[in-house]
Structure 1
Amino acid sequence: MLGERIKKLRKQKKLTLEALAGNQLTKGMLSLIENNKAQPSMESLAYIADQLEVEVADLLEVISSDELRDILEQVEKIYNLDREKTPEKYKQLIELIEPFAENLTQGYQAARILEIYSYALFRDDQENWLEVAERAAKMFDQLNIAANRTNIAINRAFSKFIIHDYDSSLEIFVRERSEIEANYAYIDPMTRLDLDYHEAVLHYAIGDSESATRIMEQAINYAKEKQLFYRVDELYRLAAAQAMMSNNEEKRRYYLEKLKQYGEFADNQGSLLFYKLLQVMLLTSEKHDYQKALEEIDQMFVNQDDLDFFDPWFNLEKGKVLFYLGRYEEALSYLEKVVFPDVHHPFDLSLLYVVDTFKALCHNKLGNKEEAYTSINRAMANFQQLPETPFKTFTEENYQKLFA
């Protein structure tokens, strides 16, 4: 309400009623205005705004520009919190934004608050997130801000990606990208890399490796041309992962080396850990050098205090190696440590879903037929909705061997 805004601004400026009233208003009249029991004339409103050193529009708006700025600072602070350490952050955002969300109509601050509000609603499984996202998207279109508009497009596609509806996710993304490129005469290099990276990820998810490779290599070359490191880490990881799935040894060796070089150059531990993981996988699956693979994994556990995101994958690889070495009880102990992180790409899921296949193989060797049956069926059910990968084929072949 107008009166409440005037009172709040007066207190922020540390003014008394008498000081704000000055020589043009009485203390009593100003008190009535602040308590919404009287409406000031435009002349009085202009005087009050001048005394408070704000624009009349700030008093008339449901939310002043200063209030919006303060709210956005709070919203950004909560939004950037680590979700694992603050699991309630999306509910906090909803509670903070919801009371005034309907009154956010224009300007970057309002659009950004709505953008984050839509993400919070989505994460909280509330159906109206799409409506809020559309409002924010239109405002960014009016402001001609491609980066934020692109983030909303990615999130729309992501909503299908996390339920493993990869075809719909790609369809939404391609449509959104076409609209963005049609409406924006200029798209900044970082936003273009965002578009290329996510489109490559989605093509790869549906098994279209040819399109994924083309877009991915196009993005890597563009990043080099613009001398940008943005998304290079993710692009090389994606390229290396794709190469691992192919039979092209030359391309595999090339992208693994690129991933390593980038990790060393940028001191990027994520890239180096991923490189190490892929190297161990090659030792296990192709070279069958299980002892060397085990030494590499144990060295990783010793040298890295916290493998963080990659911990499940290294536990899985150790379980696999121990199985091949005939140490079935030990293998199961490491396979049981594998906790699925919040990942949704078929490559990541394939790597993780194979854990149940190896559990089945260990149980079978130990004579635990019922546990083996349960594990292999769980693996088959998980792989059913994923595109073809070597891990899916491996699971299907072992299902036939175990339970033909």
Structure 2
Amino acid sequence: MGLGERIRKLRKEKKMTLAELAGSEITKGMLSLIENEKSKPSMETLEHIAKSLEVPVSYLMQEGDEEWTREMAEHEIFYNLYDFPTEFVENNILPNMEKIASSQAGMRLYHIIRMYYRYTGRHEPADQVTEKVTGFYEQTGLRNLALKDKMNDALSMLYSRDYEEGYRKFLKLEGEVGEFKEYDPGLELDYLYWRSGLALEFDEADFIEYGTALIDKSFEYENFKYYFTQNVLFGFYYGTIGDHDKYKEYSRNVKKYLDFNPNAYYNLEIFSEEQPIMLAFVLVEDSERHLEQLEQYREKVISTESEDPRYVKNYSNIVEMLDLEVNYHSGNYSYVADHFNPSLYEREVAQFPLDRIWIATRATVYPLSLFRSGRVDEARAAFKKLEDSIADIRDSIFTGEFHQVREIIFKN
């Protein structure tokens, strides 16, 4: 349904004549031309029509097929954490872009297209999508949503692993965030969280400053959507650099948060009550204690009922990974060697460097199992493959355990 047809439909639903809707702002003839798609209204005219019809300008500007747009934007395939659905985008979305509605669902779908372009290394069309989306929001007076999309554009750099470029894009947005933070505090929280997360590999002082500001603002705005995750990040960071007092402080914060805000999804992020934030995945100090906690965690995953689509979509993969780790720490190296599934760890979707490091470290149960079974050459080849997967971030402070595994396998 086009703009003119939508205006006519609403006018008739409200039983208004052309003259009544036109009012003193425009002529009846001009309104007739607009309704018949023979003339495009100026923004001032559009605002007058929208006000008279008692609808937002954005509603009048909707184009395309809203039902199809929503179906595509909310498709379950996008909840897969292990693969980006390039074929789905190429076969179902790109050939039908004229169907994309000018609505919030349409803007989400354009963001998916932008992620596709980043993922396939096509930055020019990705930038064009950003111009289109931010232009839509700015044209309709929704500058706060235009800013939100600029942040989404910065985050889309994760899909091409241009982490530093994404971080620099965030740095450029600080002034705009300052303009809107009183009007839309959620934007400031988004900005603080994502800027802190992206700064982690490039500017540790920035990571700490903006992460601390996020925790403070969470209490100020009484909005804790990032509080849990930020405390986990701080706990892992301080535990990694050896500041055990800070590590314990943020571990306590995590446990307190769950005491007051029980949440099935966040609860799965807690490895154990004793050690809510894990510092080692494979080279643990107390193997027996770790195995006991690991088995308890596996049972928690199996028994958890969650409606979170990400969890539902990836549940079987999570359990399969835990099975491998349980068997490794039980000394069943042959089981790990025979059942290792590389697709569990070869995740091509957008991830922060720390997530990739965690996954690669957990995957070392496979080369270690080969090594402990006497298959040294195979172990080294398997480890090299993992090492290549994080070659761009191999010098991160968080790769300590990964490098320790390397020393074990290549010690002779």
Q: Note whether the superposition's TM-score is higher than 0.5.
A: yes
Find the aligned partners of 1:345 and 1:354 in 2 and give their Cα distance: 15
Q: Is the 8 A contact 1:140 1:149 kept in 2?
A: yes
* Partner secondary structure for residue 162 of structure 1: helix
Q: Which residue of 2 aligns with 1:222?
A: 217
Match for residue 267 of structure 1 among 262, 265, 269: 262
| Change in 2 beyond 3 A, CA 1:324/1:185 | closer
Distance 2:140 2:329 in 1: 59
**Percent identity over the alignment?**
14
Question: How much is the aligned-residue C-alpha RMSD, in angstroms?
Answer: 4.2
Correspondent of 1:174 among 165, 171, 178: 171
Give the structure 2 partner of residue 137 of structure 1: 134
1:199 aligns with 2:195: yes
Cα offset, 1:74, TM superposition: 5.3
Alpha-carbon separation, structure 1, partners of 2:152 and 2:78: 20
Q: Which residue of 1 aligns with 2:298?
A: 301
Per-residue Cα deviation, 1:205-245 (whole angstroms, up to 9, x for no partner):
x2433321221111111110121233333333333333343
Paired residue secondary structure (1:367)? coil
SS at match of 1:275: coil
Residue aligning to 2:341: 336
What are the ranges of 5 or more consecutive residues in structure 1 without an aligned counterpart? 14-19, 21-41, 50-55, 102-109
Asked if 1:376 corresponds to 2:387, the answer is no
Paired residue for 1:160? Answer: 157
Q: Report if the CA contact (8 A) 2:159-2:351 is conserved.
A: yes
C-alpha deviation, 1:390, in angstroms? 6.0
Asked if the contact 1:260/1:271 (under 8 Å) is kept, the reply is no
Aligned to 1:348: 355
Relative contact order, higher structure (CA 8 A, sep 6+)? 2
Aligned length: 359
Note the C-alpha offset of 1:131. Answer: 1.4
Q: How far, CA to CA, are the matches of 2:258 and 2:90 in structure 1?
A: 33
The normalised TM-score by structure 1 is 0.72
C-alpha displacement at 1:170, in angstroms? Answer: 0.6
1: CA distance, partners of 2:397 / 2:322: 15
The equivalent of 2:367 in structure 1 is 360
- Counterpart of 1:242, as a letter, is Y
Residue 273 of structure 1 deviates from its aligned partner by 1.4
Does residue 326 of structure 1 match 2:331?
yes
Distance 1:304 1:289 in 2: 22
> Could you give the per-residue CA deviations for residues 7-43 of structure 1, whole angstroms, max 9, x where no partner exists?
x959x98xxxxxx9xxxxxxxxxxxxxxxxxxxxx86
CA apart distance, 1:129: 3.4
| C-alpha displacement of 1:296 | 2.1
TM-score by length of 2: 0.70
Question: Aligned in 2, Cα 1:140/1:182: closer, same or farther, shift over 3 Å?
Answer: farther
* Match of residue 307 from structure 2: none
Q: Which residue of 1 aligns with 2:251?
A: 256
In structure 2, relative to structure 1, the CA distance for the partners of 1:213 and 1:333 (3 Å cut) is farther
**1:237/1:274 contact within 8 Å kept:** no
Give the Cα separation in 1 of the matches to 2:223 and 2:157: 30
CA 183–67 in structure 1, closer or farther in 2 if over 3 Å, else same: closer
